[in-house]
Structure 1
Amino acid sequence: MKLYTRTGDTGETGLYGGARVRKDSLRVDAYGSVDEANAALGVAATLGETARLQGLQADLFVVGGDLATPLERSVPRITPEDTERLEHEIDTLEAGLPALQNFILPGGAPLAAALHLARTLVRRAERAVVTLCDAEPGQVNPETLRYLNRLSDLLFALARAANQSAGQADIPWKRTTRD
Protein backbone atom coordinates (compact mmCIF):
# COMPACT_ATOMS: atom_id res chain seq x y z
CA MET A 1 0.00 0.00 0.00
CA LYS A 2 1.40 3.38 -0.98
CA LEU A 3 1.56 6.26 1.46
CA TYR A 4 0.02 8.62 -1.08
CA THR A 5 -3.38 8.09 -2.66
CA ARG A 6 -3.75 11.24 -4.77
CA THR A 7 -7.39 11.45 -3.61
CA GLY A 8 -6.65 14.65 -1.69
CA ASP A 9 -4.93 16.48 -4.51
CA THR A 10 -7.99 18.64 -5.19
CA GLY A 11 -8.36 19.84 -1.59
CA GLU A 12 -10.74 17.17 -0.32
CA THR A 13 -10.31 14.37 2.17
CA GLY A 14 -12.42 11.42 3.23
CA LEU A 15 -14.15 11.03 6.55
CA TYR A 16 -14.55 7.61 8.09
CA GLY A 17 -17.51 6.14 6.29
CA GLY A 18 -16.61 7.55 2.90
CA ALA A 19 -18.03 11.10 2.89
CA ARG A 20 -15.74 13.60 1.15
CA VAL A 21 -15.21 17.06 2.65
CA ARG A 22 -12.96 20.02 1.93
CA LYS A 23 -9.65 19.94 3.80
CA ASP A 24 -10.48 23.36 5.26
CA SER A 25 -13.82 22.19 6.67
CA LEU A 26 -14.52 22.81 10.34
CA ARG A 27 -14.49 19.07 11.02
CA VAL A 28 -11.06 18.59 9.46
CA ASP A 29 -9.80 21.68 11.30
CA ALA A 30 -11.02 20.19 14.59
CA TYR A 31 -9.40 16.80 14.20
CA GLY A 32 -6.31 18.41 12.63
CA SER A 33 -5.94 20.58 15.73
CA VAL A 34 -6.23 17.45 17.88
CA ASP A 35 -3.46 15.90 15.77
CA GLU A 36 -1.23 18.96 16.39
CA ALA A 37 -1.78 18.62 20.13
CA ASN A 38 -0.99 14.92 19.89
CA ALA A 39 2.31 15.67 18.13
CA ALA A 40 3.21 18.17 20.86
CA LEU A 41 2.53 15.49 23.48
CA GLY A 42 4.89 13.24 21.54
CA VAL A 43 7.63 15.85 21.85
CA ALA A 44 6.92 16.23 25.57
CA ALA A 45 7.05 12.44 26.01
CA THR A 46 10.66 12.45 24.80
CA LEU A 47 11.50 14.55 27.86
CA GLY A 48 9.72 12.48 30.53
CA GLU A 49 6.39 11.11 31.74
CA THR A 50 6.56 8.90 28.65
CA ALA A 51 4.00 6.24 29.60
CA ARG A 52 1.45 8.75 30.90
CA LEU A 53 1.80 11.04 27.88
CA GLN A 54 1.64 8.16 25.41
CA GLY A 55 -1.61 7.10 27.12
CA LEU A 56 -2.97 10.60 26.54
CA GLN A 57 -1.79 10.41 22.93
CA ALA A 58 -3.77 7.20 22.52
CA ASP A 59 -6.82 9.02 23.90
CA LEU A 60 -6.29 11.83 21.39
CA PHE A 61 -6.33 9.27 18.58
CA VAL A 62 -9.77 8.26 19.84
CA VAL A 63 -10.82 11.94 19.94
CA GLY A 64 -9.54 12.48 16.40
CA GLY A 65 -11.32 9.39 15.11
CA ASP A 66 -14.45 10.43 16.97
CA LEU A 67 -14.38 13.84 15.28
CA ALA A 68 -13.69 12.29 11.85
CA THR A 69 -16.65 9.94 12.09
CA PRO A 70 -20.36 10.78 11.82
CA LEU A 71 -22.17 9.96 15.07
CA GLU A 72 -24.37 7.33 13.40
CA ARG A 73 -21.30 5.16 12.72
CA SER A 74 -19.92 2.90 15.42
CA VAL A 75 -16.31 3.67 16.38
CA PRO A 76 -14.50 4.01 19.70
CA ARG A 77 -15.52 7.33 21.23
CA ILE A 78 -14.32 9.33 24.18
CA THR A 79 -16.54 8.71 27.23
CA PRO A 80 -17.42 10.42 30.51
CA GLU A 81 -15.21 7.83 32.23
CA ASP A 82 -12.23 9.07 30.21
CA THR A 83 -12.90 12.62 31.40
CA GLU A 84 -13.36 11.46 35.00
CA ARG A 85 -10.01 9.66 34.82
CA LEU A 86 -8.36 12.98 33.92
CA GLU A 87 -10.12 14.71 36.81
CA HIS A 88 -8.76 12.09 39.21
CA GLU A 89 -5.23 12.61 37.84
CA ILE A 90 -5.58 16.39 38.23
CA ASP A 91 -6.77 16.03 41.84
CA THR A 92 -3.87 13.70 42.66
CA LEU A 93 -1.29 16.03 41.12
CA GLU A 94 -2.71 19.16 42.72
CA ALA A 95 -2.59 17.57 46.16
CA GLY A 96 1.21 17.49 45.87
CA LEU A 97 1.68 21.00 44.47
CA PRO A 98 1.83 24.33 46.28
CA ALA A 99 -1.29 26.45 45.90
CA LEU A 100 -1.13 28.97 43.12
CA GLN A 101 -0.77 32.51 44.38
CA ASN A 102 -0.66 34.22 40.99
CA PHE A 103 -0.59 33.55 37.26
CA ILE A 104 2.46 31.71 36.00
CA LEU A 105 4.33 31.96 32.72
CA PRO A 106 4.66 28.87 30.57
CA GLY A 107 8.17 27.52 30.95
CA GLY A 108 10.65 26.33 33.51
CA ALA A 109 12.16 22.90 33.03
CA PRO A 110 12.20 21.54 29.45
CA LEU A 111 9.43 19.00 30.15
CA ALA A 112 7.27 21.69 31.78
CA ALA A 113 7.75 24.03 28.82
CA ALA A 114 6.81 21.25 26.37
CA LEU A 115 3.71 20.43 28.43
CA HIS A 116 2.65 24.07 28.43
CA LEU A 117 2.98 24.15 24.65
CA ALA A 118 0.90 20.98 24.35
CA ARG A 119 -1.68 22.55 26.69
CA THR A 120 -2.08 25.57 24.43
CA LEU A 121 -2.54 23.32 21.40
CA VAL A 122 -5.21 21.34 23.25
CA ARG A 123 -6.96 24.65 23.95
CA ARG A 124 -6.83 25.47 20.23
CA ALA A 125 -8.34 22.06 19.45
CA GLU A 126 -11.03 22.74 22.02
CA ARG A 127 -11.90 26.05 20.31
CA ALA A 128 -12.07 24.28 16.94
CA VAL A 129 -14.46 21.69 18.38
CA VAL A 130 -16.65 24.46 19.85
CA THR A 131 -16.85 26.04 16.39
CA LEU A 132 -17.71 22.68 14.84
CA CYS A 133 -20.40 22.01 17.47
CA ASP A 134 -21.97 25.41 16.75
CA ALA A 135 -21.92 24.80 13.00
CA GLU A 136 -23.17 21.21 13.18
CA PRO A 137 -25.43 20.96 16.26
CA GLY A 138 -25.97 17.41 17.45
CA GLN A 139 -23.32 16.00 15.08
CA VAL A 140 -20.38 15.89 17.52
CA ASN A 141 -19.88 13.76 20.61
CA PRO A 142 -20.28 16.37 23.40
CA GLU A 143 -17.81 14.47 25.58
CA THR A 144 -14.97 15.54 23.27
CA LEU A 145 -15.33 19.11 24.56
CA ARG A 146 -15.33 18.07 28.19
CA TYR A 147 -12.35 15.78 27.63
CA LEU A 148 -10.27 18.43 25.86
CA ASN A 149 -11.11 20.98 28.56
CA ARG A 150 -9.91 18.60 31.29
CA LEU A 151 -6.88 17.54 29.27
CA SER A 152 -5.63 21.11 29.10
CA ASP A 153 -6.09 21.38 32.87
CA LEU A 154 -4.19 18.11 33.37
CA LEU A 155 -1.33 19.32 31.18
CA PHE A 156 -1.13 22.51 33.27
CA ALA A 157 -0.91 20.42 36.45
CA LEU A 158 1.64 18.09 34.84
CA ALA A 159 3.77 21.10 33.81
CA ARG A 160 3.74 22.39 37.36
CA ALA A 161 4.62 18.92 38.67
CA ALA A 162 7.45 18.65 36.12
CA ASN A 163 8.89 21.93 37.38
CA GLN A 164 8.61 20.76 40.96
CA SER A 165 10.31 17.45 40.10
CA ALA A 166 13.15 19.30 38.39
CA GLY A 167 13.58 21.62 41.38
CA GLN A 168 12.47 24.52 39.20
CA ALA A 169 9.97 27.01 40.58
CA ASP A 170 7.04 28.04 38.43
CA ILE A 171 7.72 31.40 36.84
CA PRO A 172 5.35 33.98 38.31
CA TRP A 173 3.88 36.51 35.94
CA LYS A 174 4.77 40.05 36.84
CA ARG A 175 3.48 43.02 34.93
CA THR A 176 6.32 44.93 33.42
CA THR A 177 6.20 48.62 32.78
CA ARG A 178 7.36 50.18 29.56
CA ASP A 179 8.91 53.60 29.32
Structure 2
Amino acid sequence: MGYRLNKIYTRTGDDGQTGLSDGRRVNKSHPRIEAIGALDEVNSQLGLLLADLQEHLTRTPKLQEVIEVLAPCQHRLFDMGGELSMPEYQALQGSEITRIEQVIDQWNICVGPLKEFILPGGSRLVAQTHICRSSTRNAERRCQALHSSEALRPELLGYINRLSDLLFVAARLIAQYQGCNEIHWQAAEKPF
Protein backbone atom coordinates (compact mmCIF):
# COMPACT_ATOMS: atom_id res chain seq x y z
CA MET A 1 0.00 0.00 0.00
CA GLY A 2 1.28 3.45 -0.88
CA TYR A 3 1.41 6.47 1.37
CA ARG A 4 -1.95 7.90 2.48
CA LEU A 5 -0.44 11.31 3.32
CA ASN A 6 3.01 12.54 2.55
CA LYS A 7 2.37 16.07 3.79
CA ILE A 8 0.30 16.84 6.87
CA TYR A 9 -0.34 20.53 6.33
CA THR A 10 -1.51 21.90 3.01
CA ARG A 11 -2.62 25.45 3.92
CA THR A 12 -5.72 24.87 1.78
CA GLY A 13 -7.98 25.02 4.84
CA ASP A 14 -6.79 28.37 6.14
CA ASP A 15 -9.75 30.08 4.46
CA GLY A 16 -12.29 28.07 6.47
CA GLN A 17 -12.96 25.44 3.84
CA THR A 18 -11.93 21.83 3.52
CA GLY A 19 -11.96 19.29 0.74
CA LEU A 20 -14.11 16.19 0.46
CA SER A 21 -12.73 13.10 -1.22
CA ASP A 22 -14.74 13.80 -4.36
CA GLY A 23 -12.90 17.12 -4.78
CA ARG A 24 -15.67 19.42 -3.55
CA ARG A 25 -14.74 22.26 -1.19
CA VAL A 26 -17.14 22.96 1.69
CA ASN A 27 -17.10 25.18 4.75
CA LYS A 28 -15.61 23.57 7.84
CA SER A 29 -18.94 24.30 9.56
CA HIS A 30 -20.89 22.35 6.89
CA PRO A 31 -23.14 19.66 8.47
CA ARG A 32 -21.15 16.95 6.68
CA ILE A 33 -17.89 18.14 8.25
CA GLU A 34 -19.61 18.53 11.63
CA ALA A 35 -20.73 14.89 11.40
CA ILE A 36 -17.27 13.69 10.34
CA GLY A 37 -15.71 15.63 13.22
CA ALA A 38 -18.18 14.20 15.73
CA LEU A 39 -17.38 10.66 14.55
CA ASP A 40 -13.67 11.42 14.90
CA GLU A 41 -14.27 12.61 18.45
CA VAL A 42 -16.11 9.38 19.32
CA ASN A 43 -13.27 7.38 17.80
CA SER A 44 -10.71 9.26 19.90
CA GLN A 45 -12.72 8.79 23.10
CA LEU A 46 -13.18 5.11 22.27
CA GLY A 47 -9.42 4.79 21.74
CA LEU A 48 -8.85 6.19 25.22
CA LEU A 49 -11.38 3.76 26.68
CA LEU A 50 -9.74 0.81 24.94
CA ALA A 51 -6.31 1.85 26.23
CA ASP A 52 -7.70 2.16 29.76
CA LEU A 53 -9.41 -1.24 29.50
CA GLN A 54 -6.12 -2.78 28.34
CA GLU A 55 -4.35 -1.38 31.41
CA HIS A 56 -6.92 -3.03 33.71
CA LEU A 57 -6.70 -6.51 32.18
CA THR A 58 -4.27 -7.93 34.74
CA ARG A 59 -6.67 -7.08 37.59
CA THR A 60 -9.87 -7.80 35.65
CA PRO A 61 -9.30 -10.32 32.83
CA LYS A 62 -13.01 -10.37 31.95
CA LEU A 63 -12.55 -6.91 30.42
CA GLN A 64 -10.95 -8.65 27.41
CA GLU A 65 -14.49 -9.45 26.26
CA VAL A 66 -15.36 -5.74 26.21
CA ILE A 67 -12.17 -4.92 24.31
CA GLU A 68 -12.94 -7.57 21.68
CA VAL A 69 -16.41 -6.14 21.12
CA LEU A 70 -15.46 -2.44 21.11
CA ALA A 71 -12.17 -2.55 19.18
CA PRO A 72 -13.85 -3.23 15.80
CA CYS A 73 -16.12 -0.24 16.46
CA GLN A 74 -13.17 2.10 16.00
CA HIS A 75 -12.68 0.75 12.49
CA ARG A 76 -16.39 1.01 11.68
CA LEU A 77 -16.43 4.63 12.89
CA PHE A 78 -13.55 5.32 10.52
CA ASP A 79 -15.56 3.62 7.76
CA MET A 80 -18.48 5.93 8.57
CA GLY A 81 -16.24 8.97 8.29
CA GLY A 82 -15.03 7.67 4.95
CA GLU A 83 -18.60 7.30 3.73
CA LEU A 84 -19.39 10.84 4.78
CA SER A 85 -16.28 12.12 3.01
CA MET A 86 -16.96 10.03 -0.10
CA PRO A 87 -20.74 9.62 -0.45
CA GLU A 88 -20.33 7.06 -3.25
CA TYR A 89 -18.22 4.84 -0.94
CA GLN A 90 -20.20 2.29 1.06
CA ALA A 91 -18.20 0.38 3.65
CA LEU A 92 -20.52 -0.10 6.63
CA GLN A 93 -22.68 -3.21 6.39
CA GLY A 94 -25.98 -3.98 8.11
CA SER A 95 -24.33 -7.06 9.62
CA GLU A 96 -22.44 -4.72 11.96
CA ILE A 97 -25.74 -3.49 13.40
CA THR A 98 -26.82 -7.11 13.90
CA ARG A 99 -23.51 -7.90 15.64
CA ILE A 100 -23.98 -5.01 18.05
CA GLU A 101 -27.61 -5.93 18.76
CA GLN A 102 -26.61 -9.51 19.57
CA VAL A 103 -23.94 -8.30 22.00
CA ILE A 104 -26.36 -5.87 23.64
CA ASP A 105 -28.85 -8.70 24.15
CA GLN A 106 -26.16 -10.96 25.67
CA TRP A 107 -24.73 -8.27 27.94
CA ASN A 108 -28.17 -7.14 29.02
CA ILE A 109 -28.85 -10.62 30.36
CA CYS A 110 -25.60 -10.43 32.35
CA VAL A 111 -26.31 -7.03 33.93
CA GLY A 112 -30.02 -7.60 34.54
CA PRO A 113 -32.93 -5.23 34.15
CA LEU A 114 -32.45 -1.53 34.70
CA LYS A 115 -34.37 -0.50 37.81
CA GLU A 116 -32.99 3.02 38.33
CA PHE A 117 -31.53 5.79 36.21
CA ILE A 118 -27.75 5.53 36.22
CA LEU A 119 -25.27 8.39 36.42
CA PRO A 120 -21.81 8.22 34.84
CA GLY A 121 -19.23 7.15 37.41
CA GLY A 122 -18.37 4.44 39.87
CA SER A 123 -14.95 3.99 38.29
CA ARG A 124 -12.85 5.78 35.72
CA LEU A 125 -13.58 3.06 33.16
CA VAL A 126 -17.32 3.34 33.67
CA ALA A 127 -17.18 7.13 33.44
CA GLN A 128 -15.07 6.98 30.24
CA THR A 129 -17.54 4.54 28.72
CA HIS A 130 -20.32 7.03 29.41
CA ILE A 131 -18.24 9.79 27.83
CA CYS A 132 -18.00 7.59 24.73
CA ARG A 133 -21.76 7.02 24.89
CA SER A 134 -22.61 10.72 25.15
CA SER A 135 -20.11 11.57 22.37
CA THR A 136 -21.80 8.93 20.24
CA ARG A 137 -25.20 10.52 20.88
CA ASN A 138 -23.74 13.85 19.78
CA ALA A 139 -22.39 12.23 16.60
CA GLU A 140 -25.80 10.72 16.00
CA ARG A 141 -27.41 14.18 16.26
CA ARG A 142 -24.85 15.55 13.80
CA CYS A 143 -25.53 12.69 11.38
CA GLN A 144 -29.29 13.23 11.70
CA ALA A 145 -28.83 16.97 11.04
CA LEU A 146 -26.94 16.11 7.86
CA HIS A 147 -29.54 13.49 6.96
CA SER A 148 -32.30 16.12 7.10
CA SER A 149 -30.69 17.92 4.15
CA GLU A 150 -28.67 15.14 2.45
CA ALA A 151 -29.97 11.59 2.80
CA LEU A 152 -27.62 9.15 4.53
CA ARG A 153 -27.82 5.39 4.25
CA PRO A 154 -29.98 3.73 6.92
CA GLU A 155 -27.00 1.57 7.93
CA LEU A 156 -25.06 4.66 9.04
CA LEU A 157 -27.91 6.03 11.12
CA GLY A 158 -28.72 2.62 12.61
CA TYR A 159 -25.12 1.87 13.47
CA ILE A 160 -24.45 5.10 15.34
CA ASN A 161 -27.71 4.74 17.25
CA ARG A 162 -26.96 1.16 18.27
CA LEU A 163 -23.38 2.00 19.21
CA SER A 164 -24.54 4.39 21.92
CA ASP A 165 -26.85 1.65 23.26
CA LEU A 166 -23.92 -0.78 23.25
CA LEU A 167 -21.78 1.67 25.21
CA PHE A 168 -24.50 2.14 27.82
CA VAL A 169 -24.71 -1.60 28.42
CA ALA A 170 -20.90 -1.86 28.29
CA ALA A 171 -20.67 0.69 31.12
CA ARG A 172 -22.98 -1.46 33.23
CA LEU A 173 -21.01 -4.62 32.41
CA ILE A 174 -17.68 -2.95 33.21
CA ALA A 175 -19.06 -1.84 36.58
CA GLN A 176 -20.12 -5.42 37.26
CA TYR A 177 -16.75 -6.85 36.22
CA GLN A 178 -14.92 -4.29 38.37
CA GLY A 179 -17.20 -4.97 41.32
CA CYS A 180 -18.17 -1.33 41.67
CA ASN A 181 -21.64 -0.06 42.38
CA GLU A 182 -23.56 1.81 39.75
CA ILE A 183 -24.43 5.33 40.81
CA HIS A 184 -28.19 5.69 40.87
CA TRP A 185 -29.78 9.07 40.26
CA GLN A 186 -31.43 10.58 43.31
CA ALA A 187 -34.16 13.08 42.58
CA ALA A 188 -33.96 16.44 44.27
CA GLU A 189 -36.23 16.85 47.24
CA LYS A 190 -39.46 18.55 46.37
CA PRO A 191 -39.82 22.06 47.78
CA PHE A 192 -42.46 22.59 50.46
TM above 0.5, yes or no, is yes
**Cα displacement (A) at 1:11:** 0.8
Deviation at 1:76, TM superposition (A): 4.0
Structure 1 segments (4+ residues) deviating >3 Å: 49-52
For 1:8 and 1:54, the matched residues in 2 are separated by: 31
Shift of 1:33: 0.4
| Alignment match, 2:170 | 158
Q: How does 1:130-145 map to 2 (within 5 A)?
A: 130-136=144-150, 138=151, 140-145=152-157
Alignment map for 1:66-145 (pairs within 5 Å): 66-70=83-87, 73=88, 75-136=89-150, 138=151, 140-145=152-157
- SS of the residue 2:52 aligns to: coil
Q: CA deviation at 1:67?
A: 1.4
3-state DSSP class of the match of 1:176? coil
Per-residue deviation, 1:154: 0.2
Q: Secondary structure at the match of 1:96?
A: helix
Alpha-carbon distance between aligned partners in 2 of 1:23 and 1:169, rounded to the nearest angstrom: 42
Mean Cα displacement is larger for which, 98-107 or 22-31? 98-107
**Which stretch has the larger CA shift, 51-60 or 89-98?**
51-60
Task: Normalising by structure 1, report the TM-score.
Answer: 0.92
Q: Please list every run of 5 or more consecutive structure 1 residues that lacks an aligned counterpart in the other structure.
A: none
2:73 to 35, 39, 56: 56
Structural RMSD (CA) = 1.4
Q: Deviations over 1:47-83 (max 9, x none)?
A: 114443321111100111111112xx2x342121111
Partner amino acid for 1:4? Y
Tell me the amino acid that sits aligned with residue 33 of structure 1. Answer: A
**Identity in percent:** 40
- Pick aligned residue for 2:19 from 14, 17, 20: 14
Q: TM-score, normalised by structure 2?
A: 0.86
Q: How many residues align?
A: 174
Q: For residue 8 of structure 1, what is the amino acid of its counterpart?
A: G
DSSP 3-state at the match of 1:13: strand
Instruction: Kindly state the Cα deviation for residue 178 of structure 1 after the two structures are TM-superposed.
Output: 7.7
Partners in 2 of 1:29 and 1:162 — Cα distance? 31
**Residues 4-43 of structure 1 mapped to structure 2, 5 A cutoff:** 4-43=9-48
